[in-house]
Amino acid sequence: MADICLLGTGGMMPLKDRFLTSLYAEYNGKAVLIDCGEGTQVAIAKHGLKLSRIELILITHCHADHVAGLPGLLLSIGNSSRTQPLYIAAPESCLKTVESLMSVCGALPYEVKTVGFPDDISYTFRADMVDPMLSVRTMPLSHRVSCLGYSLMLKKKPPFLPNNARAIGVPVELWKKLHNGETVVLEDGTRVPPEAVTGDRRPSMKITYTTDTLPLDDIFIFAENADLFVCEGMYGLPEKKESMNEKMHMLMQDACRIAKEANAKRLWLTHYSPAEKDPSVYAEELRKIFPDAVVTEDGAKITL
Amino acid sequence: MADICLLGTGGMMPLKDRFLTSLYAEYNGKAVLIDCGEGTQVAIAKHGLKLSRIELILITHCHADHVAGLPGLLLSIGNSSRTQPLYIAAPESCLKTVESLMSVCGALPYEVKTVGFPDDISYTFRADMVDPMLSVRTMPLSHRVSCLGYSLMLKKKPPFLPNNARAIGVPVELWKKLHNGETVVLEDGTRVPPEAVTGDRRPSMKITYTTDTLPLDDIFIFAENADLFVCEGMYGLPEKKESMNEKMHMLMQDACRIAKEANAKRLWLTHYSPAEKDPSVYAEELRKIFPDAVVTEDGAKITL
């Protein structure tokens, strides 16, 4: 299970009534944060979430609206008496900027471990500091600087079949081990593999986050069947298309078309231009392209 | 004349209902900003002020709560189509951190000129990019890193004496030059110095800002006769004194004693600890030490 909160929905600069785009995803009490612009630590407090639960921070790219809140957030985590290491992962080429920003942090009471993901090829990273069943997939996007999309993939255990376990004679105290994927040996020497007492594998829970990119065709493969697809949509006005191509962003309509192709379960639009004062005016039109499109507001939450 | 706004009153970290300590002082449409923690650009927008008017940013020291908002603010100023240079001044030893933070800004559409003030001795700087009558005085404070206090000194013109000017026979069109301090020569060759037609010099308007420091004795000389003295007061509980000594901060009571010694016209307390949920509870007690003490809230404004 994952508790998700979209901390902010803005792009470019924080506004007095709109935080910058950032996603907080919590798995059994440990959290991943994607992006950390100026004010993200305030949004976390405002939406009733816990800085202290963050184990992994994923940075999409090194533009200030996605990364400038990092030093303040790291210091505030330090004030919450953390001592265990914290992981920050970002495109390889972005780590230097992350380190420059951290120069203002001085000595933190915990270790920051940085992980550089390849800028130009997809990569899969086991996020067991958050959950042993969680992995992170990356996809190189197309923006003015190296930028990665992220999919958080949480493996779901196959269903446990108690009738099978009883029929084989597995004592109840061994059921958990089997459900966790371990083989057990009974007192009479019988080896019972987990497949004997579990049903068909279930697809992973998938949250895909892509922002600051042209609407590449490949994104629909990356976001395929996502339970939640969080995607930028700077403007809802089709006449902004040319300007978006120049700035290497996309329209809300582009995001909806990708979500439809991807067969995503739901789309959360975000990263609105400061010039879009009320993005909700496009909601009805966008749902004609993709019925499960949501023009989110700061603090949107869902449990998956 | 100066329009002053204390953008925030917090110390250490921005809170959901308290911005970080920062002062915005506007002189005839051009502004000085002192300190720029995370969220300062949002506070400027919230309090109805203009990023585009900032000509000079003074940084007291390089702790994140005073400087981490700089890259976002510089980028947003860039978005407001600025092309003329902008000045950032800070303790010399702090400039490296300022530059590290700016690495996230990429190419700005205007030049940033940095000025390093001596860390350990007082210094006076002419701030004519803001106003030809404005200067900035510095005072080394005592904190865990090099930290400067600032006094903004706005010279006031002496009063113009029209009766004297008429008696000497100065034509009205030359009065402005004389009032601005220039000597003029009349048609008959008579040289008229400005002193001949102006009254006694008036003291400069003075705004003193000291935060993140032990309550040094010298501060009362630095803040002497200030029209506005903005000073930190982390806590209002006297039992926090020892901890403040360790952390090199001061109590609200310390600030009141300094303001009294300094004969300041008014004291604005600021930089409250996040643990001080409602600093106003100390107001009555503090006014017993210094009657013109104000336990300010975010957005406090005054025209001097």
**Tens digits of per-residue pLDDT, A244-293?**
999 999 999 999 999 999 999 999 999 999 999 999 999 999 999 999 99
For residue A77, the chain B residues in CB contact (below 8 A) are none
The CA–CA distances, whole Å, from B59 to A92, B9, B91, B115 equal 32, 16, 8, 10
Query: If you measure CA to CA, which chain A residue comes closest to B99?
Result: A100
Both tokens of A113, joined, read 């471990």
Count CA atoms closer than 13 A to B64's CA, side-chain side.
Answer: 26
Cβ neighbours of residue A35 closer than 8 Å, sequence gap 6 or more:
A20, A21, A22, A23, A58, A59, A60, A66, A67, A211
B209 and B80 both lie in a single domain = yes
Q: Which helix (H) or strand (E) holds A286?
A: helix A283-289
What pLDDT is stored for residue A278 in this prediction? 97
Joined tokens for residue B147: 């930290």
pLDDT in tens, B253-277: 999 999 999 999 999 999 999 999 9
B3/A285 Cα distance (integer angstroms): 46
Q: Which domain holds residue A73?
A: 3-158+201-303
Q: Which residue has the tokens 């300022």?
A: B98
Is B270 in the same domain as B183?
A: no
Q: Which helix (H) or strand (E) holds A150?
A: strand A148-156
The answer to whether residues B139 and B189 belong to one domain is: no
Residues A114 and A230 in one domain: yes
* B130 and B186 co-located in one domain: no
The reported pLDDT for the residue numbered A36 is: 98
Question: Do A28 and A168 fall within a single domain?
Answer: no
Q: Which helix (H) or strand (E) holds A95?
A: helix A95-102
Write out chain A residues lying below 8 Å of B62, CB-based: 104
From B277's Cα to the closest Cα of chain A, the distance in A is: 15
Cross-chain residue pair B12–A65, CB shorter than 8 Å: no
CA-to-CA distance for B210 and B215, rounded, in angstroms? Answer: 10
Same domain assignment for residues A53 and A187: no
Q: Which of A3, A17, A35, A65 is catalytic?
A: A65
pLDDT of residue A220: 95
**Chain B residue nearest residue A106, CA to CA:** B63
Q: What is the mean pLDDT of residues B37-60?
A: 98
Whether residue A181 is found in the same domain as residue A297: no
In chain B, which residues touch A (CB < 8 A)? 12-16, 37-39, 41-42, 45-46, 62-65, 67-69, 71-72, 75-76, 79, 96-97, 100-101, 103-106
Test A79 with B39 for CB contact under 8 angstroms: no
Q: Are residues A128 and A215 in the same domain?
A: yes
The yes-or-no verdict on residue A180 having pLDDT over 90 is no
Tell which residue, B291, B267, B292, B296, has the closest CA to residue B279: B296
Let me know whether B19 and B113 are in one domain.
yes
Structure confidence by residue, pLDDT tens digits, B154-210: 998 899 999 999 999 999 999 999 998 899 999 999 999 999 999 998 889 999 999
d(CA A8, CA B299) in angstroms, rounded, equals 24
Note the pLDDT tens digit of each residue in A146-177: 999 999 999 988 999 999 999 999 999 999 99
pTM of the model: 0.90
Mean residue pLDDT of chain B comes to 96
C-alpha to C-alpha distance for B213 and B233, rounded to whole angstroms? 10
Query: What H or E segment, with its residue span, contains residue A112?
Result: strand A112-117
Can you tell me the mean pLDDT for B14-42? Answer: 98
Domain identity same for A71 and A183:
no
Structure tokens at A148: 């990665």
Find where tokens 């400027």 sit.
Answer: B44
B64 vs A contacts (CB less than 8 Å):
71-72, 75, 104-105
pLDDT of residue B180: 87
At A216, is the secondary structure helix, strand, or coil? coil
Residue A82 is given by DSSP the state -
Q: Beta partners for A272?
A: A10
Other Cβ atoms closer than 10 A to B95: 18
First CA to last CA across chain A, in angstroms? 6
Axis crossing angle, helix A95-102 with helix A70-79, rounded to the nearest 10: 50
Q: Which residues neighbour A175 within 8 Å (Cβ) at sequence distance 6 or greater?
A: A160, A162, A165, A197
- Using a CB-CB distance cutoff of 8 angstroms, which residues of chain B are in contact with residue A39? 14, 38-39, 42
The alpha carbon of residue A2 is apart from the nearest alpha carbon of chain B, in Å, by: 25
Q: DSSP letter at A52? A: G
Contacts of B198 by beta carbon, 8 Å cutoff, 6+ apart: B157, B158, B159, B160, B161, B178, B179
- Chain A residues contacting B, CB < 8 Å? 12-16, 37-39, 41-42, 45-46, 62-65, 67-69, 71-72, 75-76, 79, 96-97, 100-101, 103-106
pLDDT at position B167 is 93
Contact A193, A181 (CB under 8 A): no
Q: Angle at CA A163, nearest 5°, toward A161 and A168?
A: 100
Is 90 exceeded by the pLDDT of residue A80? no
Q: Do residues B131 and B154 lie in contact, with contact meaning Cβ atoms separated by under 8 Å?
A: yes
> Which domain-ending residue is among B170, B196, B222?
B196
DSSP string, chain B: --EEEEEE-B-SS-BTTBPBPEEEEEETTEEEEE---TTHHHHHHHTT--GGGEEEEE-----HHHHTTHHHHHHHHHHTT--S-EEEEEEGGGHHHHHHHHGGG-S-SSPEEEEEEPSSS-EEEE-TTT-TTEEEEEEE--SSS--EEEEEEEEEPPPB-HHHHHHHT--GGGHHHHHTT--EE-TTS-EE-GGGGB---EEEEEEEEE-SS---TTHHHHTTT-SEEEEE--BS-GGGHHHHHHHT--BHHHHHHHHHHHT-S-EEEE-B-TT-S-GGGGHHHHHHH-TTEEE--TTEEEE-
pLDDT (tens digit per residue) in A16-35: 999 999 999 999 999 999 99
Is there a single domain that holds both residue A171 and residue A288?
no
Minimal CA–CA distance to A235: which of A223, A218, A247? A247
How far apart CA A105 and CA A102 sit, in angstroms, is: 5
Strands A22-27 and A3-8: antiparallel
- Give the other-Cβ count within 10 Å of B66's Cβ: 28
The Cα B166–Cα A10 span in angstroms is 62
Question: Of B168, B55, B153, B165, nearest to B112 (Cα)?
Answer: B55
Residue that the structure tokens 């947003």 belong to? B76
Instruction: Answer yes or no: are the C-beta atoms of B157 and B179 closer than 8 Å.
Output: yes
The pLDDT value recorded for residue B290 is 98
Q: How many domains does chain A have?
A: 2
| pLDDT, mean of residues B122-149 | 96
In the predicted structure, residue A202 carries a pLDDT above the cut 90: no
Q: How far apart, in whole angstroms, are the C-alpha atoms of residue A31 and residue A53?
A: 5
CATH number at residue A23: 3.60.15.10
To the nearest 10°, the Cα dihedral for A100, A101, A107, A110? -110
Which one of A147, A178, A196 terminates a domain? Answer: A196
